[in-house]
C-alpha cells in the first residue's frame, strides 16, 4: 500500500460520528491523529476545544507578499447505520474494484486528506508552498457546525485570507473537473403530535378519538401540491430565478441528465417541480423533505392500536436568497394552520445554514478552472450543488471571503448511505489538483 493510502486508512478507521455522544472520544482521537499528521509536515498546528468536538487549525510560515488560501474540511462523519447493509465494516476500510470502502471515504475524509497530501507533496518537492496556507478542520459539519461560526468571529485576524477552497462536493462524472459555485442552504424542524394519554384499543376508541399518526400523515401531505411544488405560504417569495446562461450551461453537463438520476437513485420514475430538469431541481430550486416519520406499531404482523403519539422530521433545502429563519417561521405557521383537530402539536425548530452562490468567473474562479484543466481532461464543468455546507455562507458573512468548491464526490459514492466509497483514482487526482490549485491561486 502507498503511504498516501496508509494515511487514508488510518484516518478512516476512527468512527468519528459527530451526532452520537458515545463517539466523543473517537472524535478527539481523530483530531489528535490529524494534529500529528499536520505538525509532522512542519506546520504550526493548534487544537481548539469546543462544547462538542475540537477544531484543528494549521499554518505554514506566512510571507506577507504571498496570497493566503484557507482550506476547510470536516473530519466528522454521518452515522453508519443500517450496519447490516454494508459489505465490509464501515470503519475497517477495504479496497475493492479500485475503490476505498468506508464511512467518510468521500464525505469528507478522502477529499480532505487529498488537500493535506497535496500540500505535503509540494513541501517535499519544493521545500515551500507558493501561498500562505491556513488549514481549518472541524468535527461538527454533519450536525450543522454549531461552534464554527463563533470560532470564526473570535479569530478574525488569525483567519484573514484571500480565498477559501473546499473539496466536499460533487464531481459530475468520473475524471471530469467540476467547479461548484453554489450550495443549497438547509433548515431543519421536528414535530411531535400527541393525542390520548396512552396507546388505545383501536376498536374500543377508534372513531371517537383523533389519531396522531393520521394527523402526522395529513401534515406531511399538506406540504406539497399534487404537482410537487411546495405549498408553504411565502416559500418561493425570495427565490432567485435561474439565469439563462446557467440553464444553457447545465444542459451540457455530463452525468446529470434525467436518465443518470434514474440510474443512480434506483427510483422507478422521477418526480418534481414542473418545468425544471433534475439538475435544476436539485441545484437551484428549494424543497421540503420528510426525513423520517413514525408513531404506532412497527413490529411484525398487526396490532389494533390507536397510537398516543407520532413524529415527523423535516429538512428544507434552500436557494439564494431565501433566509432559513424566515422559512422556518413560514413552516411553523403552515404546520399550526394545517394540524387537524383533536391532537396537540409541538414544533421544534432545528439547525440551519444559509444558501450560497458566487461568481465562477472571478479571478480566483478562473485560477480554479485552470487547476482543474491541468488535472482532468476537457473543460471543467461549472455547477451549483444540491447539498449543503452551512459554514460556507458564514465564511462570506464573517470573513468576507468567497469559497471555491472543487468536488471529487461521484454520484455513486453513497455518501450518508451504506457502502460509502471513494475511487483511488479520485484520491490520486485530488492530490494533484490541490498541488495545481495552490500554484494557480498564487498567480
Ligand atoms: N459534503 C456534504 C455536502 C455535499 C455533498 C454537497 C455532495 C454537495 C455535494 C456535507 O458533508 C453534508 O452532507 N452536509 C449536510 C449538512 C447538514 C447535515 C447540515 C447535508 O447537506 O445534509
Ligand atoms: Zn456529509
Q: Do domains 3-183+355-442 and 185-239+286-353 have the same CATH topology?
A: no
- Whole-model pTM: value is 0.94
To the nearest 10 degrees (0 to 180), the angle between helices 3-12 and 424-442 is 100
| pLDDT, position 109 | 98
Angle at CA 19, nearest 5°, toward 18 and 24?
Answer: 50
Strand (E) positions, 262-325?
A: 287-295, 305-306, 309-318
- Ligand 1: residue whose CA is nearest its atom 1: 168
Number of helices (H), then strands (E), in the chain: 13, 19
**Ramachandran region of residue 127, left (φ > 0), alpha (ψ -120 to 50) or beta?**
left
CB 131 within 8 A of CB 438: yes
At the top level of CATH, which class does the domain 185-239+286-353 belong to? alpha beta
First-last CA distance in the chain = 35
CA distance 359 to 382: 10
Q: Which ligand is nearest to the CA of 170?
A: 1
Q: Is the peptide bond before 307 cis (omega within 30 degrees of 0)?
A: no
CA pair distance 173, 288, nearest whole angstrom:
27
In short, whether 186's Cβ falls inside 6 Å of ligand 1 is yes
Cα torsion 114, 435, 173, 409 to 10°: value is: 20
Distance between Cα 169 and ligand 1 center (Å):
8
Q: What is the model's pLDDT at position 18?
A: 98
Domain boundaries, the chain: 3-183+355-442, 185-239+286-353
> For the domain 3-183+355-442, what is the CATH code?
3.40.630.10
Quick check: CB of 108 below 6 Å from ligand 1?
yes
Q: What are phi and psi of 268, to 5 degrees?
A: -70, -25
Q: Which residue in 179, 56, 165, 177 sits closest to 392, CA to CA?
A: 165
> Which of ligand 1's atoms lies nearest the C-alpha of 180?
8
- In tens digits, the chain (443 residues) has pLDDT values of 999 999 999 999 999 999 999 999 999 999 999 999 999 999 999 999 999 999 999 999 999 999 999 999 999 999 999 999 999 999 999 999 999 999 999 999 999 999 999 999 999 999 999 999 999 999 999 999 999 999 999 999 999 999 999 999 999 999 999 999 999 999 999 999 999 999 999 999 999 999 999 999 999 999 999 999 999 999 999 999 999 999 999 999 999 999 999 999 999 999 999 999 999 999 999 999 999 999 999 999 999 999 999 999 999 999 999 999 999 999 999 999 999 999 999 999 999 999 999 999 999 999 999 999 999 999 999 999 999 999 999 999 999 999 999 999 999 999 999 999 999 999 999 999 999 999 999 99
Q: Which helix (H) or strand (E) holds 422?
A: strand 421-423
State which ligand 1 atom lies nearest to the alpha carbon of 170. 9
What is the rounded distance in angstroms from the CA atom of residue 34 to the CA atom of residue 50?
A: 17
Q: Is the peptide bond before 82 cis (omega within 30 degrees of 0)?
A: yes
How far apart CA 31 and CA 289 sit, in angstroms, is: 33
Any ligand 1 atom below 6 A from CB of 142? yes
Cell 437513485 locates to 265
- Give the Å distances, CA to CA, from 76 to 256, 265, 424: 28, 25, 21
Query: Is the CB of residue 104 below 6 angstroms from any atom belonging to ligand 1?
Result: no
Amino acid at each position: 500500500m502507498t503511504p498516501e493510502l496508509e494515511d487514508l486508512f488510518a484516518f478512516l478507521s476512527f468512527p468519528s460520528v459527530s451526532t452520537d455522544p458515545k463517539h466523543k472520544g473517537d472524535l478527539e482521537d481523530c483530531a489528535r491523529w490529524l494534529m500529528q499528521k499536520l505538525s509532522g509536515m512542519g506546520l504550526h498546528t493548534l487544537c481548539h476545544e469546543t462544547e462538542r468536538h475540537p477544531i484543528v487549525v494549521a499554518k505554514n510560515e506566512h510571507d506577507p507578499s504571498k496570497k493566503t488560501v484557507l482550506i476547510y474540511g470536516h473530519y466528522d462523519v454521518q452515522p453508519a447505520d443500517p450496519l447490516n447493509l454494508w459489505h465490509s465494516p464501515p470503519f475497517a476500510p477495504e479496497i475493492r474494484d479500485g475503490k476505498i470502502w468506508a464511512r467518510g471515504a468521500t464525505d469528507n475524509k478522502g477529499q480532505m486528506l487529498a488537500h493535506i497530501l497535496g500540500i505535503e507533496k509540494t513541501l517535499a518537492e519544493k521545500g515551500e508552498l507558493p501561498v500562505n496556507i491556513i488549514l481549518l478542520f472541524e468535527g461538527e459539519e454533519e450536525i450543522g457546525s454549531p461552534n464554527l461560526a463563533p470560532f470564526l468571529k473570535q479569530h478574525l485576524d488569525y483567519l484573514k485570507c484571500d480565498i477559501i477552497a473546499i473539496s466536499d462536493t460533487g464531481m459530475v462524472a468520473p475524471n471530469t473537473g467540476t467547479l461548484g459555485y453554489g450550495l443549497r442552504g438547509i433548515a431543519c424542524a421536528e414535530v411531535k403530535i400527541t393525542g390520548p394519554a396512552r396507546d388505545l384499543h383501536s376498536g374500543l376508541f377508534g372513531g371517537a378519538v383523533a389519531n396522531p399518526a393520521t394527523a402526522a400523515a395529513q401534515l406531511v401531505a399538506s406540504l406539497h401540491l399534487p404537482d410537487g411544488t411546495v405549498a408553504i405560504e411565502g416559500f418561493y417569495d425570495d427565490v432567485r430565478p435561474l439565469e439563462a446562461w446557467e440553464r444553457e450551461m447545465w444542459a451540457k453537463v455530463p452525468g446529470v441528465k434525467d436518465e443518470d438520476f434514474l440510474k443512480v437513485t434506483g427510483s422507478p420514475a422521477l418526480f418534481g417541480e414542473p418545468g425544471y430538469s433534475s439538475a435544476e431541481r436539485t441545484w437551484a430550486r428549494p424543497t421540503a423533505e420528510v426525513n423520517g416519520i413514525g408513531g404506532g406499531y412497527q413490529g411484525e404482523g398487526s396490532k389494533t392500536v390507536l397510537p398516543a403519539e407520532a413524529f415527523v422530521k423535516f429538512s428544507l433545502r434552500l436557494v439564494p436568497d431565501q433566509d432559513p429563519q424566515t422559512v422556518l417561521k413560514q413552516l411553523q405557521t403552515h404546520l399550526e394552520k394545517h394540524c387537524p383537530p383533536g391532537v396537540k402539536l409541538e414544533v421544534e425548530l432545528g439547525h440551519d445554514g444559509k444558501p450560497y452562490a458566487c461568481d465562477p468567473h472571478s479571478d480566483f474562479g478562473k485560477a480554479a478552472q485552470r487547476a482543474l484543466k491541468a488535472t482532468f481532461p476537457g473543460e471543467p464543468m461549472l455547477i451549483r450543488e444540491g447539498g449543503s455546507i452551512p459554514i460556507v455562507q458564514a465564511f462570506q458573512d464573517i470573513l468576507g471571503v468567497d469559497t471555491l468548491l472543487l468536488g471529487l464526490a461521484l454520484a455513486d459514492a453513497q455518501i450518508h448511505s451504506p457502502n460509502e466509497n471513494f475511487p483511488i483514482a479520485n484520491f490520486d487526482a485530488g492530490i494533484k489538483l490541490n498541488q495545481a490549485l495552490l500554484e494557480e491561486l498564487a498567480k
